[in-house]
Amino acid sequence: MKNIKNLKEFSTSADRFEGANLLCPGCAHSIIVREVLNATNDDLVLSASTGCLEVCTAVYPYTSWDASWIHIGFENGSTAVAGAETMYKALKKKGRLKQPERTPKFVSFAGDGASYDIGFQWISGCMERGHNIMHIVLDNEVYANTGGQRSSSTPIGSSATTSPEGKKSYGEKINKKDMMTIMAAHGIPYAAQVSPNKWKDMVKKIQHGFAVEGPVFINAVSPCTTEWKFDPKDTMHIADLATDSLVFPLYEIINGQELNITYRPKNVVPVEEYLAAQGRFKHLFKDEYKYLIKEWQDRVDEKWAYLQRREEARV
């Protein structure tokens, strides 16, 4: 395993993801991708489902990927990489690998739309069958690539284009799907929630994910300057608010059972500050919708209490 003691050591990594792609300035997707790819020196076989990452990094005649990479469609990035992993096992058995001494890692990147919605079955199948792959959700809580339509990851009160706020509506009415619990329920060796601002936590989890045998599910919050409506320079600030307000708690689930909280903020920030920093929640600060902010805080508090109980009970 690549030894990364501190950020200075980490900075000696040779990136395998290139700039001059079509992602928005300030996009968190590429920050996450860089942290993940730099967490290992092993060879990589990657896939991306249709979405911002795929569409912006592989438009003919350019590719931003320095490792083998495949895109098939929207639902099936995870299955694509599972198919490649299966071929790797077959060729290994038959002695036909070109570089047999190498130990490649198989990673699938997909947005929340591709993972929580249209690709749900495909990911579930991969987790159930036990492929040695890692599926990473780049969660910007909407179908960002097509202009910000709601997904089952869109949180309550968020204004998305197909659940917009208006004179008679406060936006999304359905609570965000708890993908972590669902994926962990497959009994996979490792599931974890990560955020790009906590790079050490992310790298530790990615490395652990690469070290275990079997399917790994990673949920990464990806603050989206375009759809969450904040200034591109503030991406890491929003990520800080997300983790420090516990809206996006960082934890891991081992073997579908034991839950460990991996980040406890020294000063917990009120959820209202997280909401106030993003244009997609602006309307919640109107008098008639302010009660939703209190509901938000209650929900986050409840979830945090639940996570702590599970951590204590070791189930």
Binders of another protein among residues 58 to 87 (CB under 8 A) are: 58-73, 75-76, 79-84, 86-87
Looking at the Cβ atoms of 140 and 297, the one nearer to another protein is 140
Q: Does 129 bind another protein (CB under 8 A)?
A: yes
* Structural tokens at position 262: 């991996």
Region near another protein per CB under 8 A, out of 25-33, 152-160, 173-181, 283-291? 25-33
**Gap between the Cα atoms of 49 and 173, Å rounded:** 27
**Gap between the Cα atoms of 128 and 122, Å rounded:** 10
Q: Does 302 bind another protein (CB under 8 A)?
A: no
Helices 120-129 and 77-94: angle between axes, nearest 10 degrees: 30
* Structural tokens at position 112: 């929340």
Residues 217 to 246: which contact another protein by CB under 8 A?
A: 225, 231-237
* Contact track, another protein, 4-23, x by CB under 8 A: ---xxxxxxxxxxxxxxx-x
* Structural tokens at position 122: 């495909």
* Structural tokens at position 45: 């076989």
Q: Does 207 bind another protein (CB under 8 A)?
A: no
**Gap between the Cα atoms of 16 and 315, Å rounded:** 38
Q: Does 124 bind another protein (CB under 8 A)?
A: yes
* Structural tokens at position 121: 């079955």
Q: Does 28 bind another protein (CB under 8 A)?
A: yes
Looking at the Cβ atoms of 151 and 235, the one nearer to another protein is 235
Q: Does 109 bind another protein (CB under 8 A)?
A: no
Q: Does 187 bind another protein (CB under 8 A)?
A: no
Residue found by looking up tokens 């990473």 in the block: 136
* Structural tokens at position 138: 């780049």
